[in-house]
Amino acid sequence: MRNLFWLAASLAFAQGPPPPTYIPQTKFDAGQNVVPVFEGWLRNTDGSFTMVFGYFNRNFKEELVIPAGPDNKIEPGEADRGQPTYFLPRRQPWVFRVPVPKDWGQKELVWTLTSHGRTEKAYAQLLPVEEITERIIMTRGNLNPGDDDPNKPPSITIAPPGAASLTSPLTLTALVTDDGLPKPRAPVKPRPGAQSNTVDNRPRGLNVSWMQYRGPAKATFDASGPMPVADGKAVTTVRFIEPGTYVLRATANDGQLSTKVDLTVTVKPDTH
């Protein structure tokens, strides 16, 4: 009996431990490619349609520059259709739009991205299951049609900035108006004696955030996240390290709905 016990134990040891039920995902800070994503299509009032795209940068830190052209193109038609050329890490949904005529039918619109030696494509087609609405985009995916919701999205414009240079930061002033809905939620107060290990510094209520959409190099914003709107405006600065044309995007969010606006900035080379 003892011999049988040791034989069973030896066999179990030889087979090794059971395989894990979960293998953690490998995280790459850099070296990975960018995947274009077709988010859906919008039906326009004039009978035409709009294809909506986003992207997924597989990197956790690396931000890629992929100029419009052979490695970043829309087909059929001109390669440059206003798609992003600067790619932030991870998932960035509902980033840009391409209008197509009312007689588009079942043709495909293809966005092709090549980065780090790998090519990916997103295929856009007017399939009924892919139809989305503006509200889905403004709420970042909420399927509630909002028919009984009195809240209206905020309105945002950018004050004309001064001349951009490589030697000094450029001031960006977002002018925002809103209907005051929804009312900002009051911060949750911890229970007496309770310990909290998390600090939520996100602004509550109306706020503005900036992202880089296009450009030959990284543009660095002074504010790295949402900024509260005070007296109808939110102010930050941005610095550039290379000359060229940049597109910067500001998003106003009232806590439920959002509105975007783009600003094109031309940075001239130093004359010294």
How much is the pTM?
0.84
Q: For residue 98, what are its two tokens? A: 């391409």
Q: How far is CA 63 from CA 154, 218, 219, in A?
A: 29, 8, 11
pLDDT at 202: 57
pLDDT tens for each residue of 246-256: 999 999 999 99
pLDDT at 194: 59
pLDDT at 11 over 50: no
Q: For residue 261, what are its two tokens? A: 């606006």
pLDDT at 151: 87
CB-CB contact of 255 with 153 (8 Å): no
pLDDT at 36: 98
Q: Where does the pLDDT of residue 183 fall: very low under 50, low under 70, confident under 90, or very high at 90 and above? A: confident
Q: Where does the pLDDT of residue 272 fall: very low under 50, low under 70, confident under 90, or very high at 90 and above? A: low
What is the domain partition of the chain in residue ranges? 34-132, 155-181+203-267
CB atoms within 10 A of CB 269: 10
Mean pLDDT over 133-151 rounds to 84
Shortest CA distance to 182 belongs to which of 253, 268, 111? 253
Q: Which residue has the higher pLDDT, 11 or 62?
A: 62
pLDDT tens for each residue of 17-52: 555 555 566 889 999 999 999 999 999 999 999 999
Mean pLDDT over 131-149 rounds to 85
Q: Topology of domain 155-181+203-267, per CATH?
A: Immunoglobulin-like (2.60.40)
pLDDT at 69 over 50: yes
pLDDT at 13: 46
Neighbouring residues of 104: CB distance < 8 A, sequence distance ≥ 6? 48, 49, 126
Quote the mean pLDDT of the chain.
Answer: 88
Q: Where does the pLDDT of residue 135 fall: very low under 50, low under 70, confident under 90, or very high at 90 and above? A: very high
- Side by side, the strands of the sheet bearing 219-221 are 155-158, 170-177, 233-240, 219-221
pLDDT at 20: 55
